[in-house]
Amino acid sequence: MPKDVITATELKQNLGKYLDYVEQQNEVVITKNGVKIARLTPYITDIEQYFLVRDRALDYQYGGKKVSYEEFLEISARSTLRMEFINGEIHLLSSPGIEHQEILGRLHLMFHHYFKGKECRVFLAPFDVHLKKKDIKTPDVVQPDLLVVCDLAGNVTETGRYTGTPDLVVEILSDSTRNKDMIDKLNAYMLSTVKEYWIVDPRQQAVIIYSFANHEIETLRVFEKGRSASSRAFAGLAVDVGELFADLIFQ
């Protein structure tokens, strides 16, 4: 963003001019007696201004900040950071590691092969999903690692945003996301109309599959090496657990 340095006297004499300049997404620094004392910046939401100041100080502590759903949409639209919105709080998403990406790539190939030629589609993160949870007014916004969407028709906006609910979601655990994926996201998926939730655990080299019915856990199954993790929502969809975790770089 362009930035000019002016004196306090110049600002007083040409306030309208500099306000117009800032309105055009420019920034002005004001000095007094040669010392920088203030900054004029384009207006953004009060919530995002809070975050912007912290970002400039190299402090990305979004976590725990309560905002409304509408505020989150505005913040995420303006930010280059990946983030989720769960239970009214913003969660920043860090860049995934090599192991995570290798597992995700394998899963995508397996799922893509199964769904090829079928109505449902397979998507990878980043892909925003707006979850409408039972009896809870404020939606969650999450980015599953992999998701199966069967309701694209009528659920894509003119800007290309998906507004439906996936039938199946997959999360690959990491040390930083383990608690969120196994507690907060499990609850969010259960209370929405997601049918099946796969948790892939590289540490235990296992796949946990939750099936939901009537906003409750219907079944919980754990698949380890030597078995195939099989879907109940999609007959014939199965992943060989040993093949999924074989020869990972950092095993």
Domain range summary for the chain, segments of one domain joined by +? 1-43, 44-93, 98-245
- pLDDT band with cut points at 50, 70 and 90 for residue 3: low
Q: Do domains 1-43 and 98-245 have the same CATH topology?
A: no
For residues 28 and 21, the answer to whether their CB atoms sit within 8 Å is yes
1-43 maps to which CATH number?
A: 3.40.1620.10
In this predicted structure, the answer to whether residue 246 has a pLDDT above a threshold of 70 is yes
> Token digits for 55?
């970002």
CATH class of 98-245: alpha beta
Q: Which comes out higher in pLDDT, residue 7 or 43? A: 7
For residues 100 and 144, the answer to whether their CB atoms sit within 8 Å is no
The Cα–Cα gap between 21 and 10 comes to 14
The Cα–Cα gap between 179 and 168 comes to 20
The Cα–Cα gap between 3 and 56 comes to 15
HSE value, Cβ hemisphere, 13 Å, CA-based, for 88: 6
The model's pTM is 0.74
Mean pLDDT computed over 86-108: 91
Alpha-helical segments (H) within the chain: 8-13, 15-23, 46-56, 69-78, 98-115, 178-179, 185-191, 241-245
pLDDT tens for each residue of 189-242 = 999 999 999 999 999 999 999 999 999 999 999 999 999 999 999 999 999 999
pLDDT tens for each residue of 31-70 = 988 888 888 877 655 555 544 444 443 333 444 567 889 9
Q: Looking at residue 56, what is its pLDDT?
A: 41
Cα–Cα nearest to 132, from 191, 67, 217, 214: 191
In this predicted structure, the answer to whether residue 13 has a pLDDT above a threshold of 60 is yes
Q: In sequence order, what are the beta bridge partners of 35?
A: 32
HSE value, Cβ hemisphere, 13 Å, CA-based, for 71: 14
